[in-house]
Amino acid sequence: MYTNIYIMIWKNFSVNAGMNIAETKKDNSPDVRRPIFPFTAIVGQEEMKLSLILNVIDPKIGGVMIMGDRGTGKSTAVRALVDLLPDILVVSDDPFNSDPEDPDNMSDGVREKIQNNEPLLTHTKKIPMIDLPLGATEDRVCGTIDLEKALTEGVKAFEPGLLAQANRGILYVDEVNLLDDHLVDHFILIGSGNPEEGELRPQLLDRFGLHAQIGTVQDPELRVQIVEQRATFDASPLVFRQKYHKQQEQLTHLLYSARDRLKTIQLDTDLRIKISQVCATLHIDGLRGDIVTNRAAKALTCLEERQHVTPEDIFRVLPLCLRHRLRKDPLETIDSGEKVRETFQKIFG
């Protein structure tokens, strides 16, 4: 069931399901969610914001590890990103957020109803973001047998876990460097961490498509701007959000169109060869680095509304794609990206 869970699945947002759906409704329950800080209002941290946006445009990039000091807005940025994304159509009373139009994103129960020509009740909901607790056990993450039904009704039933709730959405782990290693073998995720609390082993780092390094802003004027923004938001969040409404809408539309154009982007063969030469020169294990760099460069080209990937696009995404794949010694710190950039200059000229 979980082989098709990505960080963000952004497709098939049409409300016209067309597959024996009897009724589609809007979830009209009162919105009691705490107002979210606007993504477009975040000052600085360009590497983190770009990494998140590239994953929205192409979820197959495989997520992002955001590593930086505490208090640098890591969790704020992830939650702000979710706020940009559109509602999705789901099958009502289905714990897996099944898409009524896409067989690859349906639970077995929904498929059976469609095969039996049973009507499906659907509604729209915000793309889910699920926080994974550090103490979560494997059965809490993946699901387990429903013991209550087994004991009271004598039937076998599956009780879905956190992965089911995060299906077609985002699974977020704060302080992922403190997470049990074996749990990450079950999913692709967005994680953040503080290097002071311990590094991740190289095998775990390689599971993240991109690696964003962020730090505390040192420019006094920017620090003042950030503090003032936060104070204004806390004092009147709805008024603050309205101030950025236009920018939020523009970015949402840009992400929509970039996602639609992704398959049309051209990456010339000679550039693909040079990307692989960089990876080989840096002794990157496996082919994940090559694949992610290709995808990230195309996603960046989409974001900037162009059709052909350029060497400059590759230069911008290479550190994000490769810096965390250089580590051979678990005690070695992650390269800032200089080694990657130097190798790019040698290969690309």
* Catalytic residue positions, numbered: 288
Residue 280: count of CB within 10 angstroms of its CB: 13
Single out the residue of 79, 80, 76, 53 nearest to residue 64, CA to CA. Answer: 53
With contact defined as beta carbons under 8 Å apart, do 18 and 101 qualify? yes
Ramachandran category for residue 286: left, alpha or beta (phi over 0 → left; psi -120 to 50 → alpha): left
DSSP class of 123: E
The residue type of 182 is H
- Output the six-digit token pair for 159: 């009780």
> What are the φ and ψ backbone dihedral angles of 96, each rounded to 5 degrees?
-105, 10
How far, in Å, CA of 231 to CA of 226, rounded? 9
In degrees, to the nearest 5, what angle opens at C-alpha 81 toward C-alphas 175 and 87?
125
